[in-house]
Amino acid sequence: MRHFSSLSRPFAYLMIATVLCWQASALLGPQVAHATSDTIYEGTNTTLSGDDDYSGPFNFGFNFPFFGVTTTQAFVNINGTLNFDSGYDEYSNSGLPAGSGMGAAILPFWDDLITHNYDAQSILYKTVGSAPNREFIVQWTSMYFYNNPDVQLGTFQVILYENGGKIQLQYRDILGGTQAEGDSATIGIQKDGSTPLQYSVNDPVVHSRMAISYTPDEDTYIINDAAAYDYKYLSDADGPGTATLTSPSNAATGVSTSPTLTWSAATNTTSYKVLVATDAGFSTIVTNQSGVTDTSYGLSGLDPGTTYYWRIEADNSSGSALSDSFSFTTGAANQNPTDPTSLSPSTLTGSSFISQSTLAGTPFAFTLADPDSGQQVKYQIQINSSNDFASPLISYTSALAAQGASTFTFGQAAGSGTYTVGSASTTLSDGNYYWRVRTIDDATAVSGWSAPSGIAFKLDTTAPALGTVTATNSGSTATFSWDTATDAGSGLSATPYTLQYSKSSDFLRAGKSSRRCWEYLCIQHRHPFHRSCSCRKDRGPEGNCRGSGHYSPTDFQRQCHSRDRDHCYRSLQPCYLYCYG
């Protein structure tokens, strides 16, 4: 129950109704009104900073009646009072009436306050409008508590209305829990030491976007603590501008539990403070991060199915400015993605020997999925020479993408992904290799690892070793012999040897090959009228040749085509047929 003194009996009945209205409002808790944006005016700086100081008097620009006495100016106190008689800097609040020099005063939030970091000059004033509807505004911007300098009170105002003499106390941002709500403050007005209208003392009763109006009624005032908030805000020419929130949009639903908050840049700003709370009054803050220099900030670990409120404070050496607040509601509890499936191809999963070119040209393939439809996913792939992956040779994480088939190619550029171990230029030596892959969703939940069974692939880049080759000649017969070849990698093939012999050391005229067909070359005779022709035998090594000779075109065709079933270009002139082997 609120107590108001110096009231006539009829007014007391009206005030009881007002108190009951306030109690109902209090039961509803802090309300948010974000549909309306502030009208911003450039204020005049009082130059107040630090602790326990006052400045003024500052002229209203019009006559203002206070308890029936016309006033034209007032002093501003850092500790949350507006004084008409003289400057006042007392920090220790009390119930009203307050003596010791308080005099005629308006007390929107009388407490032991300081400006931001003690050096910010963030208390502003401004007369706006035109006669007879001018308004004198005093704004305490981004204030803090002396006894708890890490707790931010927020921003509050006094507005004096020329037309009608109304006084309005309003609280734009209340950020520091119950202390910022007034549990160590005095709120009210007083004519002098004997005529107070106390609204509260040491009671946490105010919240963001709350307004308390005092409307003159003969020799007293009617108090309405559910007054309409007057959306006006004073900015400082030297202070920072106000950030505009962009994402998540206001009242967004189904938001990830690890969202990224984004906002537009504020002018004249050196850094930002990110404020996130579970209540509209920001009394239960879950994130209070200062020194942010980007225009985005990632959150993590939020509770599913929960409504959060967020806002951004822009800061510079002259002060700070708070944005409007947005709300968003997180979606249902995130489910872990499923383990990757369809690992392929067999050359990279079936313990096969492969070459370096096969490794670089064959993508590792797999399928990524998540039970939360619509979520994006990414993969993390690791390659190692042992299956414990204690020290992987490659560890690469892709960028987020749609669920479904995905691939990784050994040696690919990082792109939008990240190599945490190795790089696109990493090479592998001969040996056995294992690989595994897992799925990560956009809420950073991870699946289990999927991996081929056993050794995934065997890399062999070293040619086999061949011993000494010897040749013996007996008449028209040559015999070739060599030491058995060895290979420490994949081993020798079923037909491991290829024999070539030639009358030329450059082997341009190849001889017999045990793994390839014989070749017949028809080359141009030195005679200038002799044409060249060529033919390739494709019957296999069992074919023979009659040797070299001089044939007519008919004989040539018979030798190369009819007898040996080769294709030969006809020649109009005779040519020599050289048959090696």
Gap between the Cα atoms of 278 and 308, Å rounded: 5
User: pLDDT by residue (tens digit) across 422-437?
Assistant: 999 999 999 999 999 9
* Residue 19 contacts residue 216 (beta carbons within 8 Å): no
Is residue 533 predicted with pLDDT exceeding 80? no
The overall longest dimension of the chain from CA atoms, in Å, is 144
pLDDT at 471: 81
> What mean pLDDT is predicted for residues 285-292?
92
pLDDT at 547: 38
Q: Is the model more confident about 256 or about 138?
A: 138
* pLDDT grade for 16, boundaries at 50, 70 and 90: very low
pLDDT at 236: 86
pLDDT at 543: 36
**Residue 214 identity:** Y
Q: Is the model more confident about 168 or about 476?
A: 168
> What mean pLDDT is predicted for residues 287-294?
94
Is residue 521 predicted with pLDDT exceeding 90? no
* Residue 297 contacts residue 274 (beta carbons within 8 Å): yes
pLDDT at 333: 84
**Residue 232 identity:** K
pLDDT at 525: 34
Is residue 545 predicted with pLDDT exceeding 70? no
pLDDT at 473: 82
pLDDT at 507: 66
Task: Report the mean per-residue pLDDT for the chain.
Answer: 81
Is residue 542 predicted with pLDDT exceeding 90? no
pLDDT at 509: 54
User: pLDDT by residue (tens digit) across 330-341?
Assistant: 988 888 999 999
* pLDDT grade for 193, boundaries at 50, 70 and 90: confident
Instruction: Label residue 224 exposed, middle or buried (CB < 10 Å: 0-12, 13-18, 19+).
Output: middle
> What mean pLDDT is predicted for residues 218-240?
93
Gap between the Cα atoms of 82 and 75, Å rounded: 6
All domains in the chain, ordered by first residue: 9-235 (no CATH), 244-330 (2.60.40.10), 341-459 (2.60.40), 500-579 (no CATH)
571, HSE (Cβ side, Cα atoms, 13 Å): 27
**Residue at token pair 């100081």:** 53
**CA distances to 60, 68, 71, 75 from 105, in Å:** 15, 13, 11, 9
Lowest-pLDDT choice from 110-119, 261-270, 416-425: 110-119
Is residue 559 predicted with pLDDT exceeding 90? no
List of E strands, 391-444: 394-397, 404-408, 418-421, 431-441
Is residue 574 predicted with pLDDT exceeding 60? no
pLDDT at 123: 94
Give ∠ CA 168-143-127 in degrees, rounded to 5: 40
> What mean pLDDT is predicted for residues 184-199?
92
Is residue 561 predicted with pLDDT exceeding 50? no
pTM as predicted:
0.53
Q: Is the model more confident about 305 or about 580?
A: 305
Is residue 220 predicted with pLDDT exceeding 60? yes
Q: What is the DSSP string of 10-58?
A: HHHHHHHHHHHHHHHHHHH------SSPPEEEEPEE----SBS-EEEEE
214, HSE (Cβ side, Cα atoms, 13 Å): 29
* pLDDT grade for 539, boundaries at 50, 70 and 90: very low
Nearest alpha carbon to residue 312 among 215, 425, 175: 175
Is residue 441 predicted with pLDDT exceeding 90? yes
pLDDT at 443: 84
User: pLDDT by residue (tens digit) across 345-395?
Assistant: 999 999 999 999 999 999 999 999 999 877 899 999 999 999 999 999 999
Is residue 13 predicted with pLDDT exceeding 80? no
Q: What is the DSSP string of 259-321?
A: -EEEEEPPTT-SEEEEEEESSTT--SEEEEEEEE-SSEEE---PPTT-EEEEEEEEEETTEEE
State what percent of residues in the chain have pLDDT above 90.
Answer: 59
**CA distances to 478, 482, 488, 505, 508 from 497, in Å:** 18, 10, 17, 20, 20
Residues in the chain: 581
* Residue 97 contacts residue 163 (beta carbons within 8 Å): no
Helix H or strand E encompassing 179: helix 177-180
Lowest-pLDDT choice from 54-63, 251-260, 497-506: 497-506
pLDDT at 36: 65
